Amino acid sequence: MADLFDLLIGKEGDKDYKKKSVIVQGITGKFGSFHTQQMLAYGTNIVAGVTPGKGGQKFEDVPIYENMKDAVGATGAKISIIFVPAKFFLSAAVEALESGIKLLIAIPEHVPIKDALTIVELSKKHDAIVVGPNTPGVIIPGIIKIGIMPASPFKPGRIAVLSRSGTLMYEVSNNLSLANFGQSICFGIGGDPINGAPLIQAFDTIRNGVNIDGVVVVGEIGGDAEEMLAQHIIDTKFDKPVVAYIAGRAAPKEKRMGHAGAIIYGTYGSAESKVSMYAKANVPVAKRPAEVPMLLAGKLEKGRNK
Partner 1 sequence: MRLLEYQVKSLFADYGIPIPQGLTSANIEQGRKDAEKLGFPFVIKAQMAVGGRGKAGAIQKCHNIDEFELKYPEIMQKVVKGEKTRAILLEKMADIKKELYLSLFLNRSKRCYTVISSSEGGVEIESVKNQIIHEVGLGNIDTKTAEEIGKEIGLKYKALEQFVDILQKLSKVTVEKEAELAEINPLAVLKDDSLVALDGKMIIDDNSMFRHDELRKFQEVSELEERAEKSGFSLVELDGNIAVVGNGAGLVMSTLDMLSDNGGKPACFLDVGGGATTDTVYEALTLISKMKKVRGILVNLYGGIVKTTTVATAFIKAYDNKMVDVPVFARMSGSEADKSKDMLKGSRTKMFDTIEEAINAAVIEVNKNG
DSSP helix/strand/coil, 242? strand
Q: In this structure, what DSSP letter does residue 153 have?
A: T
* Nearer residue to partner 1 within complex by CB, 149 or 202: 149
Beta-carbon contacts of 144 under 8 Å, excluding residues fewer than 6 positions away, are: 8, 9, 18, 20, 22, 42, 43, 44, 45
When asked if residue 91 is in the footprint of partner 1 (CB under 8 A), the reply is no
Contact 96, 77 (CB under 8 A): no
When asked if residue 156 is in the footprint of partner 1 (CB under 8 A), the reply is no
Q: Which of residues 111-130 bind partner 1 (CB under 8 A)?
A: 111-114, 117-118, 120-121
Q: Which of 35, 110, 232, 259 is catalytic?
A: 259
Print the binding letters for residues 221-260 with partner 1: x by CB under 8 A, - otherwise: x-xxx--x----------------x-xxxxxx-xxxxxxx
C-alpha torsion 107→108→110→116, nearest 10: -70
Query: Shortest gap between Cβ of 12 and partner 1 (angstroms)?
Result: 32
When asked if residue 86 is in the footprint of partner 1 (CB under 8 A), the reply is yes
Report the 10 Å Cβ neighbour count for 267.
Answer: 9
Q: Which of 26, 32, 153, 214 binds partner 1 (CB under 8 A)?
A: 153
Any catalytic annotation for residue 232?
no
Query: Shortest gap between Cβ of 229 and partner 1 (angstroms)?
Result: 10
Distance separating alpha carbons of residues 36 and 32, to the nearest angstrom: 6
Distance separating alpha carbons of residues 251 and 253, to the nearest angstrom: 7
DSSP string, 194-216: S-SS-HHHHHHHHTT-TT-SEEE
Query: Shortest gap between Cβ of 73 and partner 1 (angstroms)?
Result: 31
**Which residue ranges make up the site for partner 1 (CB under 8 A)?**
31, 86-87, 109-114, 117-118, 120-121, 148-150, 152-153, 163-171, 174, 191, 193-194, 198, 218, 220-221, 223-225, 228, 245, 247-252, 254-262, 266-267, 287-290
